[in-house]
Amino acid sequence: MFKGALFDLDGVIADTSVYHFQAWKKLIQDNFQQDLPSQLEEQTKGVSRADSLQRILDYLQIEVDTAKFQQLMQQKNEYYLQLLQTLTPDNILPGIKELLRELQQQKVKLALASASLNAPVILEKLQLSDYFAAIADPVAVKQGKPAPDIFLAAAGGINVTPQDCVAFEDSIAGIQAINQAQAFSVGIGSSVELAAADLLFAQTKELNLAQIETSYQQWKEGL
């Protein structure tokens, strides 16, 4: 059995990524009177606030100075926090709470590896804080996803080597980060987008601990 489980937050534990993109759309509309196309949502999944904003501005071919950039990030976070006020345990994605309970029963240590600065607040609103022994601080890592830093920090937070960890992600950048960290990657979503994952489930409700453990053991033997 693996010793650690590392979780992304948005799109894995709860679908808060929807709130992120709603906040980005409002921000760009309020400041630049432009609409964001839906295809940009995938590019902002799993990455930091600064990286998301830069990708959006690059797409729209908008340049701002450092002060304006910081102001836009702060304004977006205010919009996002307003949307989070409606968050409750009902927003936990199907199958996740059951998986967390199973992992806890198996004495697997859990850590959060999210780019979200609001992760502690979100876990509290979802009433899931007690499941996690560590929350990696995205401010403290040098590089965001797809670099492995946040997953390495999460594994370090529970004192488990990455090779002894299984990590859950729904974004391309997140799967790349897990693989670079040399942990076992479990993707949630489209097989086309997340083909690099070691194991893939279409939806959170399909997550199966026995299947994950079997695939992990086969992967570990191949190292």
- Binding residues, as ranges, are 8-10, 24, 52, 76, 114-118, 145, 169-170
15 in catalytic set: no
User: Binding site for substrate: what residues are annotated?
Assistant: 8-10, 24, 52, 76, 114-118, 145
The catalytic residue among 8, 149, 164, 198 is: 8
CB-CB contact of 22 with 28 (8 Å): no
10 in catalytic set: yes
User: Binding site for Mg(2+): what residues are annotated?
Assistant: 8, 10, 169-170
Active site residues: 8, 10
